[in-house]
Amino acid sequence: MGDSPVVAIVGAGLVGSGWALVFARAGCEVRVYDPDEPTRSRLPAWIEASAADLESNGLIASAAEVIGRVRLCESLPEALDGATYVQESVFETVESKTAACLAIDKAMSPQTIVGSSSSGIPASQFTGNCRHRQNFLIAHPVNPPHLVPVVELVPAPWTDPSALEQVRELMNRVGQVPVHVRREIDGFVLNRLQGALLNEAWALYEEGYASLADIDATISHGLGLRWSFMGPFETIDLNAPGGIADYAARLAPLYYRMATQRVPRKWPQETIEQAQAERREVLAEEDLAERRLWRDSVLSRLAAFKKTNGLGP
């Protein structure tokens, strides 16, 4: 791939739209295709608002220039024409992913690399029948990709190592933070970490140790502050005089004991309903969409804060 490759985005929902911004602000020509006309037609307004937000937070110099690099296409072949990288972001089922990848595979050049935004389904479950399956891998972002930079790169067993290397370089070049998940596993790394924390949070809530709001506060006014600029390993490395091994010597027995107190449990339906009721008291269902915009606006300001303080990618 060249310095500013032409990038095709297939699937223009929230994830695909965010990806379009990621590549466009880095100077790439971006072609977006979605078979669903209503989804496609929502893109321009979203791109405009989001680019304006980035500009107002000093994260891009010119919204107009970025917007000018995004082109909506009427067909998949039109979007793929000249593209050296494709970011697949269609609905996350094995069926949708399989169909999208086969269609991309048919229309693409043999040198094109395809990253899938799949958040949990490994590429081996939907790329096996592609002619160019060695060019396919997972490139899983967090929502929204233009405000949260991490991207999990997960190769299928048949992914060419040089395809992985090219996507890693591309992600670095466009200002994302690629992490390499060396082989396939349910949930990859990010959602396994989130899942472990969520499973414990649900158990504590179910057993009545604390309210939903109080459990949230232990993260949002506690653990989450350091984690917004240091990972969990660096955090504990700094939390004992002799570093991470010293921390482990002091606290591993406690953490082991806590683990033995838990057996895998499904999140109980009654507890889920109670949580839903508790959340809807704080935030009505009709206000969810507005709160998501608020979240993204905070993430945008946080990205600017991290950039200013040398904490960004």
With contacts defined by CB under 8 A, name the span among 49-57, 72-80, 102-110, 175-183 that binds a second copy: 175-183
Considering only residues 204 to 243 of the shown chain, the ones binding a second copy according to CB under 8 A are 204-205, 208-234, 236-239, 241-243
Contact between 52 and a second copy per CB under 8 A: no
Q: Which region holds residue 243: left if phi is over 0, alpha if psi is between -120 and 50, else beta?
A: left
Considering only residues 289 to 308 of the shown chain, the ones binding a second copy according to CB under 8 A are 291-292, 295, 298-299, 301-303, 305
Contact between 94 and a second copy per CB under 8 A: no
Other CB atoms within 10 Å distance of the CB of residue 180: 12
Give the C-alpha separation, 64 to 127, whole Å. 37
Give the C-alpha separation, 246 to 241, whole Å. 7
Q: Fill in the amino acid letter for 286.
A: E
Contact between 2 and a second copy per CB under 8 A: no
Contact between 38 and a second copy per CB under 8 A: no
Considering only residues 257 to 276 of the shown chain, the ones binding a second copy according to CB under 8 A are 257-262, 264-267, 272-273, 275-276
Taking the least distance from each CB to a second copy, the nearer of 131 and 262 is 262
Taking the least distance from each CB to a second copy, the nearer of 162 and 228 is 228
Number of chain residues interacting with a second copy (CB under 8 A): 104
Least distance in angstroms from the C-beta of 63 to a second copy: 22
Contact between 82 and a second copy per CB under 8 A: no
Residue matched to tokens 């998949």:
76
Taking the least distance from each CB to a second copy, the nearer of 2 and 264 is 264
